[in-house]
Amino acid sequence: MPEPMRLNRYLALKGVASRREADRLISAGKVLINGQPAVLGTKVNDRDQVEINQDATPKRTYLLCFKPAGELAKLVGQYSDRKLTLLEPLDKETAGLVIATNDGRLTARLPDCEQEYHVCVDKKLTPMFQKAIANGVKLEDTMSKPCQLKKINNQEFNLILTENKANLVRRMCAALGYQVTGLKRTRIANLTLAGLKSGQQKIISPLEQEKLLKILGI
């Protein structure tokens, strides 16, 4: 640490909590610097000893949701009263995997990990279309990143992206003269829809949690 940094940023970089969660721990008096309770805005450096009351760290929950097409993602039943946030939301007409968690560390890191989609379009795939999608498509305000396309049949393919922008798959296809007739996200990082039916939710296993956090560098 070449220069002093704010305590909430330090805790976030150490993987203890998101900045917002860190501020809550600091406000609750659960963070000590050199044996003294920290205050919001405090800065620390390599010479400081930072301690956390481990009992104060909230239990982290990671929930997988299979959002149906035509509905907005929501938490239901036994999970609806948990303080979880839906990450990487999908537009109403897109089905598939959504993650809900109270681990704020995932918010900034999930958009850059692999996300896989099953795509159906309105006409036959051409070699030119497949090459253009894989190499990156010029959109009205940006250029999509190169990605992996795996053809399934004449009008269906799987697409692996490493970016998440609003309606990106639909916009890429439209820019090349195709309309998406069906779209489902089947994977985020190591997490898939396996074992889930449309509308269902489940807590991911400890092994899946460990692998996800490793992929995200947490």
Residue ranges covered by each domain of the chain: 5-56, 62-109+195-215, 114-188
Low-confidence stretches of the chain (pLDDT beneath 50): none
Q: Tokens 């309105």 — which residue?
A: 122
Q: What CATH number matches the domain at 5-56, 3.10.290.10, 3.40.50.10170, 3.40.640.10, 1.20.1250.20?
A: 3.10.290.10
Tokens of 37: 């309770």
Instruction: Tell whether domain 114-188 is in CATH 3.30.70.1560.
Output: yes
pLDDT score at 3: 80
Burial of residue 5, with CB atoms counted within 10 A of its CB: 0-12 exposed, 13-18 middle, 19 or more buried: middle
DSSP state of 102: S
Buried b (16+ CB within 10 A) or exposed e, 167-203: ebbbbbbeeeebebeebbbbbbbbbebeeeeeeebee
pLDDT score at 93: 95
Same fold, 62-109+195-215 and 114-188: yes
User: Whole-angstrom Cα distance, residue 174 to residue 156?
Assistant: 15
C-beta separation of 23 from 8 below 8 A: yes
Phi first, then psi: give them for residue 159, nearest 5 degrees. Answer: -130, 125
CATH of domain 62-109+195-215: 3.30.70.580
pLDDT score at 57: 58
User: Whole-angstrom Cα distance, residue 63 to residue 48?
Assistant: 36
pLDDT score at 55: 63
pLDDT score at 104: 80
DSSP state of 162: S
pLDDT score at 1: 61
pLDDT score at 56: 57
Tokens of 62: 């990671």
